[in-house]
Homo-oligomer: A and B are copies of this chain.
Amino acid sequence: MVRTKDPVVRTLLIERAAQMLRTREPVTLRAIVAGTGVSTMAVYTYFGGMDGLWQATRQEGFTRLAAKLKAAPQTADPVRDLAALGAAYLSNALANPDLYRVMFDAGFELGDPAAADETLHCLVRDIDRAKAIGRFRRDVDSLALATQSWAIGHGLVSLVSTGPLPRQALDHGAPMLTALFTSCGDDPDTCRRSVELGWHPEPGRETAPVDQPPPANT
């Protein structure tokens, strides 16, 4: 029994909520605290209620996404790196589909809005690099292009993860990004090759970077 308000209990509850989200169990107050040894009151002292828990879970989703994007490879080809960011985005969303859904569910505000901005900044940085080396025109609005790339990734993964499209539809990402980047001034063939390189993770690295085991035994 921990006396001081330790972050141990806090992360314990968040991870338990994420786990129940992952295993498709109904995430209820009583079910969350059932296996932890703490009482229902802990959720209220730590998060102020279920909404606070959802908000914290949402934050956790953005944190994991930021970590995934930060771990994306950085090469001399910014267009390739942009495609790699897109692939990492989709990979993260598919690895944590329920966390991803919570991230973009309405009704809850984000505790720290900087987490979402940081996501966009990763894209903006590579876009600026592409402009610097002449791949993209200098009059390209970096933030706008980053937003458009985000919309492509989000649209694809939403329609696939919890929507009507099959998983194979994610392959549309490469030609879509190629079309978008080409419209920013990149040479079509060069762009296509760069995007293909970044989009498909090279064999040898982690091809299925799931940070939690699939729910096989539960």
Residues on A close to B: CB < 8 A? 101, 104-106, 110, 116, 144, 147-148, 150-156, 158-159, 161-165, 169, 172, 175-176, 178-180, 182-183, 188
Known A-B contacts A164-B116, A183-B182; A159 and B148 likewise in contact (beta carbons under 8 Å): no
By DSSP majority rule, is chain A's interface helix, strand, loop, or mixed? helix
Shortest Cβ distance from A120 into B: residue: B164
Shortest Cβ distance from A155 into B: residue: B155
Q: Which of B152, B163, B165 contacts A152 (CB 8 A)?
A: B152
Known A-B contacts A106-B101, A175-B183, A180-B179; A147 and B165 likewise in contact (beta carbons under 8 Å): yes
What 5 A-B pairs have minimum CB-CB distances, sorted nearest first?
A155-B155, A179-B183, A106-B162, A151-B155, A154-B155
Contact A151 B156 (CB under 8 A): yes
